[in-house]
Amino acid sequence: MEVRLKTQILPAGEAAVAAAARVLAEGGLVAFPTETVYGLGADAANPAAVARIYQAKGRPAFNPLIAHVGDIAAARQIARFDAAATALAEAFWPGPLTLVLPKTPSCAVADLATAGLETIAIRLPAHPVARDILRAFGGPVVAPSANISGHVSPTTAAHVQSDLTGRIDLIVDGGPVAVGVESTIVGCFDEPMLLRPGGVPRAEIERVLGRALTQAPTDAESDSGQPLAPGMLASHYAPRAKVRLNAQRLEPGEALLAFGLGAISGIDAGSIVMNLSERGDLDEAAANLFGHLRALDSKDVGTIAVMPIPNDGLGEAINDRLRRAAAGRE
Ligand code: TXA
Ligand code: MG
């Protein structure tokens, strides 16, 4: 991890969009806001640029990337859409949904970005800054979350800065993101499969499909032995502190990640408490999740105890990320 670049930070705006397009065209790395989390973008068709992403993040190269496009026509150039994929794209794009689809023969995305798979993950983000950058650059941009591999995903430019300064060329600061958890990933195989819960709740997707999503088994492998959702490593979102889930009381020395106004015993005047949403709103909780985890982690607590969080709506994605955070230190 010997990268030492001068990392420029620009507020979102015309100059930043032009600079981002230029850096991408030159094979550099740009962090930019999407509605889910900040992404670290590179020209998807440039293998050297894609390799730089893996290097900057310390990410294993067998973990493929999502190609971000500016419109559906661009998506159709790189992937084949069946009826389910078309219905989902029409319902949720632009927005926090990623589709895993068969690559087209003419797909220009570097093999390194898809880890040699025959499928490609595609997303059409809704954030205006992301869309402006995609339009200005004019080609697909691969973008994982803009954090060091294994860290909590960034929801502000400051999070990106603290992880990636000196490793990337440009950070476009568009303020805090709206959704706060990564996109939902659906594999459009024979049976549409939920590969990662995320910013679009499962129930909304099932309503459009008119059927239940099949569930990717944990550490799922397809018949070919390829991981179905290769990035779903058990400890993917790990803070430094231990994470203890479904806490019914706060133990001495623990910090509390609260949800709602429900009471919990063991809190005293000295307790460190952050609430994901006092009014018990799961959308607000998702938007606060990664920032609160980073903030509690920076206070050097040994353990973060987390109150129970309902599993409906964005709760499924929140609980998924929290389970991974907890698995990291068990
Ligand atoms: O919201 C998001 O999706 C953010 C923003 C920046 O767009 N991006 C993001 O990327 O979360 P990343 O790299 O952190 O997660 C991408 C996930 C990984 O779990 C990866 O394994 C999976 O997508 N993936 C990519 N290509 C795949 C494929 N062909 N088949 C199955 N899973 C794939
Ligand atoms: Mg990530």
CB 318 within 8 A of CB 310: no
pLDDT at 220: 44
Ligand that comes closest to the CA of residue 230: 1
**8 A C-beta contact, residue 29 and residue 23:** yes
The pLDDT value recorded for residue 224 is: 43
| Å from CA of 57 to ligand 2 middle | 10
Q: Please tell me the distance between residue 285's alpha carbon and the centre of ligand 2 in angstroms.
A: 19
Check if 257 has its Cβ closer than 6 Å to any atom of ligand 1: no
Buried b (16+ CB within 10 A) or exposed e, 97-127: bbbbbbbeeebebbebbbbebebbbbbbbbb
Provide block-wise average pLDDT over 10 residues at a time, the chain (330 residues): 83 98 98 98 98 94 94 97 98 98 96 94 98 98 95 96 97 98 96 96 98 77 48 64 95 96 89 97 98 93 96 97 80
pTM tops 0.85, yes or no: yes
**C-alpha of residue 153 to centroid of ligand 2, in Å:** 6
242-326 is classed CATH 3.40.50.11030 = yes
Q: How far apart are CA 280 and CA 134, in angstroms?
A: 35
* Cα 93 to Cα 35: distance, rounded to the nearest angstrom: 12
At 128, the amino acid letter reads P
Each domain of the chain, given as residue ranges in start order, spans: 8-215, 242-326
Nearest CA to ligand 1 atom 12: 144
pLDDT value of residue 300: 84
Structure tokens at 141: 């941009």
Ligand 2 center–CA 145 separation, angstroms: 4
Give SS3 for 17. helix
Beta-bridge mates of residue 41: 30
How far apart CA 186 and CA 315 sit, in angstroms, is 17
What string of DSSP letters covers 213-227?
Answer: PEEPPTT-B-TTS-B
- Give per-residue burial for 249-263: e unless 16+ CB within 10 Å, then b: ebeeebbbbbbbeee
Q: Which CATH number fits domain 8-215: 3.90.800.10, 3.40.47.10, 3.90.870.10, 3.30.300.30?
A: 3.90.870.10
> Which residue owns the Cα nearest ligand 1 atom 19?
231
